[in-house]
Structure 1
Amino acid sequence: MSYAHLDAYSRLLRGAYEAAMTKQRWPVAPRRPIEASWHRSLAAGIDPGITSAPLVYDLDYIDDVRQAHPLHPLLPLLSRTLAGLADEIGHVMIVTDAHGRVLWREGGTAVLRRADQIGLSDGHQWEERNVGTNGIGTALAVGRPMHVYSEEHLMRALHVWSCSAAPIVDPDSGRVIGCVDISGTARTLHPSTVALVGTAAKLAESELALRMHERDDRLRRRYESLRGRPGILLSPTGRVISGDPAGRLGERVPLLDSHLTDDPDPPSDGILLPIRPGEHVRVSGQRMILRDGTVGLLESFSDGYLLRTVPTATPPALALSFLGERPPFVTLGDREQPLSLRHAEILALLALHQHGLTAEQLSFHVYGDYGNPVTIRAEIHRLRAQLGNAIAAKPYRLACPIEADFLAVRRHLAAKDPAALARTYSGPLLPRSESPEIRRERDELEAQVRACLLRYGSPEHLWAYAQTSNGRNDYEILERLAALPSTDARSAAARARLA
């Protein structure tokens, strides 16, 4: 991009930026990823007038974090790839952790002094939720390399800067573990720098993959020395290394929901003592329900785990009672307990999608376009506290036999059995639910029940339907009942309702 094009783009950006910050209509929107980042940043309440990223690490202890971080051994590789460029053209190279907290930087004295003024230095955090649109935070937010130029930054103090950043994904855990960034003055950092930064991130990931395979080989050799090779060999992050030739567990077994100690949220005082990013919590002794419904027990083995299947009795059935006006409740074994509407919606959706749903899919089915997978994960956590291992993860699914009144209604409809239908159908499915998927299922079920009873049902079956909330004033149902002999009490009741 030539300087003329940069000048023209800067003029466009200034107009869009001022309109966005004053909540006016944008004359011309910036690039789509920047526009989306502005929306996220403003919705998070970021003040464009802040002048520095927050300091979140106690610098007296940051060396401990650096030594423990999985990117520490790769610094020479990143330095060889990028630091020379930074020195040559007066830029600074930054390496952060997965939450945009600066752990290392390299550059000339002059540019480091300028970087200090905006918090582009050790221990400061550059996530979007802290400082708005910026190279590091936006690359981490979208999960791919990003170049953020001048007025594309949300902070006005950054308008003299440009940044190219790329996230680094750990092939072992599948998680983002850091970000590499080159930052400098707006006109000296060309947008094409983002390709070089992306290449450096890929080189780091390749080196991590090589080290991972070497660890796997060492662990596999120890495993193969065991007599009988008991159990399935897992890495510390739950990757299946050996012992599952049929692939019934997939590539990874989910361990504890938070198996890393790297907490993204600083405490209320703003400064935190460094923790050890990437350090794994040992979860030996954890029981889990596997994808095929069997129960597994984790045992520590060298640097990883052995997963052994254990015999277990058939788990108790989960019975869902979600039809009609009565508040929803669940029966697990011989224990009956009421449910909140949200928990009932989640269980109904899992019962309707027995192959499982991701957090994103569940969120969409429950809340529609405005759903947030984080909210769903929190609700699943609360449900598990009530139902134990009845809900499995990745994807979320019911891991025990299921009985549900609305599923029984479906079976009776398929069998065209009006007697069983009249006994089972006590009213609409979760009538207070506003979930788009539940509403669709509720309306479809209601229409099919009504049509089946009108076609095949006897007066007894129609009368049973007339006791439900929708059947109580159903004109066609009541007309059929009113046609019964006048001595029939059901006929009198139907005529009264029609009147």
Structure 2
Amino acid sequence: MTPSRPSRVIDPCCDETQRSARAAHPVPGCDARIPGGLRPVVRESWRRSLEHLPDPDLAHASLFCSESELQDHRRAHPLAVIMPVIEQLLVRPGAAAGMLVAVGDAAGRLLWVDGDPALRRRAEDVLFVAGADWSEARVGTNAPGTALALRRSVQIAGAEHFSTRIRALSCTAVPVHDPESGVVLGVVDVTGSRDAAAATTLSLVQAAVAAAEAHLTVQRLTHRLEGVESCHAVHLVPPRAERAHLRILGVHQGILQVGDFVMELSLRHTELLTVLALHPEGLPADRLADLTYGEGASGTTVRAEMLRLRKVLGPHAGTIMPRSRPYRLPSELTVDAVQVVEDLGNGVHRRALGRYAGTVLPRSEAPALVRLREDTSALIRDAVFEDGSCDTVLRYLELPEAEYDLEAWRLGSRLLPRRSSRRAALVSHLGWLEQELPVPEPVTSGYPKIC
């Protein structure tokens, strides 16, 4: 695949660019104050960041999983097969040059971070570590998060970062695409000093990503050839069913992964697959139409759309090609939102928060998806208040949907130690909320006991 075209038109590390960035002070809710001296890619990213983050001082990474869960994420991710290529082309030379190399998934969550040992120790202070969420919605403007938001190469230098905590770093990031479907699988990032955002670094990372995508193609062709050869074996061993997973949290269109193949679905096809995953027993056409299109919808409409869905899935659907009479999936399709609900039901609140990348398909109006979205958001909030720990509450406050949750911000202010470096920004946002929002009715129960 041809490397993504760079978004930069001027040197992000030059003195003039850095002076403009240092002079910029984003004001929550007032993007008009973002100065025009910033590079366009940075200015637009700051505006997006302000939609999710109330204050640059509050923008910071957070861990989304435990160490054992991280290993599971790595093994299941399609980019695991490219790591030898990244190790040879980027990690080794990067470490020698005093830089770090990170590989993250399509949601901006870092799965691998390696490189210079001294810089790794420094990076731990801002949670630039494997297992941390560095999406633009969580951290604000940063190379891996912004590259994923734009789906193209991005360089962010020093003061161009939205978060005040990471302005000592400079980064170059390039998305990795599925060589067949074109879907973004993840991102490769190089982080370090000013040299990490140099033009030569961008060319190097783009070349490494192109090599990694070519490696993915070779691996898949080899896998398919081995599958064909196995059909001629005297003792045929039944192939292991490929894992199928659908991501609908924090995205506008679903991301389907079947084995090592990943594709982006249309909103309607995402809705249909989600509804079928929620009803493994199967649904008649009229009922599937009601849950997807709304009450009174025609079963004929669903039949036509299911034909299109089967055509889109083609040979890559594996064992989840929908069947009819009734409409159903022949094998399990895991859905991230359902996994979150299951974690909450099992009392694993922190893992659920780590998996919760945002609301369910924000643009969907399908009745079944609207209910799933509302139920999941409500359960997440209830679990946070039930857990009542400072860490859990603070992680909840980092979610975009918690920005106007006055009760949650009040709880956070009660839990956060007075000497915490995060307290000033939290109290500032709470004060702004109390001025802007109407006073809610007092709640006499349901809060955890605060000691």
TM-score class, shorter:
0.5 to 0.7
Counterpart-to-counterpart distance in 1, 2:27 and 2:315: 55
2:318 partner letter: G
The reply on whether 1:89 has 2:97 as its aligned counterpart is yes
For residues 217 and 92 of structure 2, the distance between their equivalents in structure 1, rounded to whole angstroms, comes to 25
Does the C-alpha gap of structure 1 residues 264 and 223 become closer, same or farther in structure 2, counting only changes over 3 Å?
A: farther
Q: Which residue of 2 aligns with 1:114?
A: 122
Bigger Rg, which one = 1
Cα distance in 1 for partners of 2:184, 2:157 equals 24
CA distance in 2: counterparts of 1:123 and 1:61, whole angstroms: 9
Counterpart among 48, 51, 58 of residue 43 in structure 1: 51
Q: Do structure 1's residue 18 and structure 2's residue 25 form an aligned pair?
A: yes
Aligned equivalent of 2:70: 62
Q: Distance in 2 between matches of 1:295 and 1:136?
A: 32
Q: Are residues 56 and 139 of structure 1, via their aligned partners in 2, closer, same or farther at CA, if it must alter by over 3 Å?
A: same
| Residues in 2 aligned to 1:96 and 1:264: alpha-carbon distance in whole angstroms | 17
Distance verdict in 2 for CA 1:55–1:190, change over 3 Å: same
Partner Cα distance (2:181, 2:81) in 1: 17
3-state SS, counterpart of residue 175 of structure 2:
strand
Shift of residue 29, structure 1, vs aligned partner: 3.5
Q: CA 1:123–1:103 in structure 2 vs 1: closer, same or farther (change >3 Å)? A: same
User: Which ranges in structure 1 are unaligned for 5 or more consecutive residues?
Assistant: 226-234, 238-258, 266-274, 313-372, 386-499
Structural mapping, 1:101-180, within 5 Å: 101-172=109-180, 174-180=182-188
Name the SS of the counterpart of 1:118 in structure 2: coil
- Displacement of 1:87 in angstroms is 1.4
State the one-letter code of the partner of 1:121.
Answer: V
C-alpha contact 1:261 1:279 (8 A) present in aligned 2: no
Q: Matched residues in 2 for 1:39 and 1:202: separation? A: 31
Q: Which secondary structure does the structure 2 equivalent of 1:72 belong to?
A: helix
1:57-84 deviations in whole A, cap 9, x for unaligned? 1123322222222222211101111113
Q: Which residue of 2 aligns with 1:182?
A: 190
Query: 1:392-417: per-residue Cα shift (whole Å, max 9, x none)?
Result: xxxxxxxxxxxxxxxxxxxxxxxxxx
- Contact residue 172 and residue 212 of structure 1 kept, 8 A: no
Q: Deviations over 1:7-37 (max 9, x none)?
A: 122112222x226579463443412121111
State how far apart, in whole Å, the 2-side matches of 1:78 and 1:72 are: 10
Q: Which has the higher contact order (CA 8 A, sep 6+)?
A: 2
The 1:51–1:185 alpha-carbon spacing in structure 2 relative to 1, beyond 3 Å, is: farther
Whether the 8 Å contact between 1:260 and 1:278 is mirrored in structure 2 is no
CA contact (8 A) 1:298 1:305 kept: no
- Kept in 2: contact 1:152–1:159 (CA 8 A): yes
Given the two structures, how large is their TM-score scaled by the length of structure 2? 0.52
Do 2:28 and 2:54's aligned partners in 1 also have CA atoms closer than 8 Å? no
- 8 Å contact 2:170–2:193 — kept in the other structure? yes
2-structure distance, mates of 1:183, 1:104:
13
Kept in 2: contact 1:262–1:277 (CA 8 A):
no
State the one-letter code of the partner of 2:38: P
Q: Matched residues in 2 for 1:50 and 1:77: separation?
A: 36
2:178–2:261 Cα contact (<8 Å) kept: no
Q: CA deviation at 1:143?
A: 0.4
Distance in 2 between residues matched to 1:4 and 1:211, nearest whole Å? 37
Does the Cα contact within 8 Å between 2:136 and 2:146 map onto a contact in 1? Answer: yes
Say whether 1:196 aligns with 2:182.
Answer: no
Residues 263-287 of structure 1 show CA distances to partners (whole Å, capped at 9, x for unaligned) of 656xxxxxxxxx9996999989989
Matched length: 285
Matched residues in 2 for 1:179 and 1:285: separation?
Answer: 37
Query: Secondary structure at the residue paired with 2:56?
Result: coil
Structure with higher helix content:
2
**Contact preservation (8 Å) 2:258, 2:316:** no
The one-letter code sitting in structure 1 at the alignment partner of 2:55 is: D
Q: Secondary structure at the match of 2:25?
A: helix
For the 8 Å contact 2:190–2:196, the answer to whether it is kept is no
Displacement, 1:222? 7.5
Secondary structure of 2:148's match? helix
Partner residue, 1:379:
365
Inter-partner Cα distance in structure 1 for 2:65 and 2:59? 18
The residue aligned with 2:410 is: none
Give the alignment partner of residue 245 of structure 2, picking from 260, 266, 289.
260
Deviations 1:329-376 (A, max 9, x none): xxxxxxxxxxxxxxxxxxxxxxxxxxxxxxxxxxxxxxxxxxxx9554
C-alpha separation in 1, matches of 2:16 and 2:316: 60
CA contact (8 A) 2:188 2:205 kept: yes
- Three-state SS of the structure 1 residue aligned to 2:149 is helix
The aligned amino acid for 1:194 is L
Aligned residues: percent identity? 26
More strand by share: 1
Task: Say if 2:98 and 2:192, in contact at 8 Å, map to a contact too.
Answer: yes
Whole-angstrom distance in 2 between the partners of 1:172 and 1:74? 15
RMSD: 4.8
Mapped partners of 2:231, 2:12: distance in 1: 63
What is the CA–CA distance in structure 2 between the aligned matches of 1:308 and 1:154, rounded to whole Å?
Answer: 44
What TM-score, normalized by structure 1, do the two folds share? 0.48
Secondary structure of the equivalent of 2:176?
Answer: strand
In structure 2, the residue corresponding to 1:49 is in which secondary structure?
helix
Structure 1 counterpart of 2:216: 208
